[in-house]
Structure 1
Amino acid sequence: MSHVTIENTIRIDRRFQGPPDSGNGGYVAGRLAAFVDGTVRVRLHRPPPLETELEVRRIEAGVRLLNDGVIVAEARSTRFCLELPAEPDFEAAERAARDYRGFHKHWFPRCFVCGPERDPGDGLRIFSGPISKRGTIVAPWVPDASLGDEAGRVRSEFLWSALDCPGAFSFPEPSGSAVLLGEQSVELRAPVEVNERCVIVGWQLSDEGRKHFTATALHSEARGWCAVGLATWLEIAR
């Protein structure tokens, strides 16, 4: 993906929060990934602050996001292969979403992506529920017009966002701990139109102590698999 205009700063509006005082990890990763061509891996070094001018600085093989000289995140080109599940069904995803565990307990209920306290058109309201006993979850999503560019295509940072939180619901909730995104890699394969019926699928790959490794994929009824991602989640004691 080529970009003619390069920003010097990124500002994360409060609308795009994950936890109350920091940006949603997938959204921030997507904003930073826009400075790097192709498939991108973003590592978050610390919670991205809200309503703050963050500097984007080019480094070898990528870019770095800084807050007053302190590294917040880094983005670099990457490659990965991922075996995808069977194509999901939108109506089945709607039924699964009724069992979204975030309706009963949510560490960050106003998260831009998965917070149940966000209104339609404000948050993405991506609510994922189990589709099988093997840990696969699915979430229906119809991106609204506010997420689109001039051509009516969903902007890339919102595709990164949509691939973020469902991964955190693909493994059992750790006792007494929230989970935060530590790293995300995304391959954007095809554009997604606003108001297009989509399903996000998530599944756990493995875990290692307090780290959880997941995969997510976004499927459009009209275009098939449009975006795929890998993520590393970190347990944070609350």
Structure 2
Amino acid sequence: MPQIFVPKRFNGPPDTANGGYVAGLIASEMRKAGMGGAIEVSLRAPPPVEAAMDLVIADGACECRHGETVVGAARRVETLGRAPAAPSLDVAAQGRDNFPPAADHAFPHCFVCGPARSEDGLCIFTGRPHGYDGVTDVWTPEADYADAEGLVREEVLWAALDCPGAFAIGFQERPMVLGRIRGEVLRRPEAGAPLIVAAWHLYDDGRKHGAASALFTADGELLAQTEQLWIELK
């Protein structure tokens, strides 16, 4: 039975693993089992850090368990619709100028978007630049996020595409947690090159909110994309 383990460095909310990172680990293991294409991961309970989680993979689906608790369930799904075109690198670089101030951040120590993680986080600060219908930022993955071939690991790509969706919805006004993420990695980039991260608000349904996100090369090639369901905290 395969297992995944999330070091405490890769947290989202306090003492909880980043949802996108966990989804990427699950997707990676499903791919090793011969299940390619788009993967949908639904989170059923807060995923723990510093604890092994068992994966039961069969018939095109996967269940992630921590002890008796079902943390998440995953399955293969249809290929996602094509993401909108990328903003230019110059426009994307302006996004972080409009990222909410640290005082308004519900989870300032989040590995992906936490302003308190300048030393060991991804520091993806997606804001809404003038004239662009979405949030965006430029992210240059460091070498320690790459595998032996120099390509950024799949779980890091999923993590990078997680939090931007919440900020496209309006995370600073209404804190929320990831409930479901459907993702597809078309090509893993090499570490050290600037990438464009962008996300768009899709819908609102009470406390449920939809978003989409995408990762592009500096010249606009689509590398990976997701569709997400976020649950607003009470």
Structure 2 residue 29 is the aligned partner of structure 1 residue 35:
yes
Q: Which amino acid in 2 is paired with 1:47?
A: P
Name the amino acid aligned to 1:161. Answer: A
Instruction: Tell me if the contact between 2:86 and 2:220 (Cα under 8 Å) persists in the aligned partners.
Output: no
Q: Is the 2:55–2:62 Cα contact (8 Å) retained in structure 1?
A: yes
User: Deviation string for 1:209-238 (max 9, x for gaps)?
Assistant: 10111010101125711001100000112x
Q: Deviations for 1:173-203, whole angstroms, at most 9, x for unmatched residues?
A: 475x420000001111112110111111100
User: Separation in 2 of the partners of 1:183 and 1:19?
Assistant: 16
**Structure 2: stretches of 5+ with no match in the other structure:** none
Query: What does residue 195 of structure 2 align with?
Result: 198
**What is the aligned-residue RMSD (CA, Å)?**
1.8
Q: Is the 8 A contact 2:104 2:172 kept in 1?
A: no
Deviation digits for residues 69-92 of structure 1 (CA, Å, limit 9, x no counterpart): 210011110114334323222222
Q: Secondary structure at the match of 2:169?
A: coil
8 Å contact from structure 1 (residues 135, 170) kept in 2:
no
| Number of positions where the alignment pairs a residue of Structure 1 with one of Structure 2 | 229
**2:102 alignment partner in structure 1:** 103
Partner of 2:139: 141
> In the alignment, is residue 21 of structure 1 matched against residue 20 of structure 2?
no
Residues 83-94 of structure 1 correspond to what in structure 2 (within 5 A)?
83-94=82-93
Match of 2:74 in 1: 75
Aligned residue for 1:9? 3
Residues of 2 paired with 1:148 and 1:138: CA distance?
Answer: 23
Gap runs ≥5 in structure 1? 1-6
Q: How does 1:205-220 map to 2 (within 5 A)?
A: 205-220=202-217
2-structure distance, mates of 1:149, 1:66: 26
**Residue 102 to residue 50, structure 1, CA distance change in 2 (3 Å):** farther
Letter paired with 1:143: P
Distance of 1:172 and 1:135 partners within structure 2: 13
Q: Please tell me whether the aligned partners of residues 86 and 198 of structure 2 are also in contact (alpha carbons under 8 angstroms).
A: no
Deviation, structure 1 residue 131: 2.8
* Structure-2 separation of matches of 1:102 and 1:156: 29
Match of 2:227 among 209, 225, 230: 230
Distance 1:134 1:171 in 2: 14
Cα distance in 2 for residues equivalent to 1:135 and 1:222:
19
TM-score (norm 2): 0.92
Moved more, 60-69 or 198-207: 60-69
Counterpart for residue 157 of structure 1: 155
Decide which structure has greater helix share.
2
Indicate how the Cα distance of structure 1 residues 103 and 93 shifts in structure 2: closer, same or farther if over 3 A, else same.
farther
**Aligned partners of 1:82, 1:169: CA distance in 2, in Å?**
21
**Which segment drifts farther, 85-94 or 45-54?**
85-94
Contact 2:169/2:210 (8 A) holds in 1:
no
